[in-house]
């Protein structure tokens, strides 16, 4: 019986450890997606987080960067925000507009966060401007992920 308890404890630990590590290991996919023509988007698959909690934390993250987020569209399962005057550290603290879309991932185990970063001249941030753009966006969004982890 003692071996069985130890085995259950080890399995429980591994499941919790794996789940906690999965939350921090998401990738950022860069691709062309429609948003005011064809603009470059960055998408993160955030696992194991309630959509309402995620939306609240996103608004706080935008506010931390001096921006204001407005809900502009809300269909079943899809919400879109426009965040204006966001001080964006990746671009030397330029003020940008971030368009964001939240929807459930295909497994319904998390939320897809897709963002488009519109520069003051109306163009969109992409690897055409900076070949390390996906990595930089990933690093920036990992700061958002840290906020989620700490608040959860």
Q: For residues 67 and 85, is the Cβ–Cβ distance under 8 A?
A: yes
> What are the tens digits of pLDDT across the range 59-113?
999 999 999 999 998 876 789 999 999 999 888 899 999 999 998 877 777 888 8
* One-character DSSP codes across 82-114: EEEEEEEGGGTTEEEEEEEEEEE-TTSSEEEEE
Alpha-carbon span 8 to 138, nearest angstrom: 36
Token match 């935008």: residue? 62
Q: What is the pTM of this model?
A: 0.75
> What are the tens digits of pLDDT across the range 16-58?
333 333 344 456 666 665 555 567 888 888 888 778 888 899 9
Q: Which domains does the chain have, with CATH numbers?
A: 27-151 (3.30.530)
């Amino acid at each position: 019986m003692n071996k069985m308890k130890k085995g259950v404890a080890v399995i429980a630990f591994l499941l919790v450890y794996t789940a906690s590590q999965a939350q921090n290991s998401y990738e950022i996919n860069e691709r062309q997606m429609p948003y005011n023509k064809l603009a470059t988007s960055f998408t993160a698959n955030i696992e194991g987080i309630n959509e309402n909690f995620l939306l609240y934390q996103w608004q706080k993250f935008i506010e931390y960067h001096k921006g204001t987020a407005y809900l502009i569209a809300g269909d079943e399962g899809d919400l879109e925000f426009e965040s204006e005057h966001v001080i964006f550290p990746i671009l030397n603290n330029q003020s940008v507009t971030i368009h964001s879309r939240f929807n459930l991932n295909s497994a319904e185990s998390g939320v897809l966060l897709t963002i488009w970063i519109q520069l003051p001249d109306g163009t969109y941030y992409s690897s055409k401007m900076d070949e390390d753009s996906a990595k930089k966006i990933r690093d920036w969004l990992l700061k958002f992920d840290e906020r989620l982890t700490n608040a959860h």
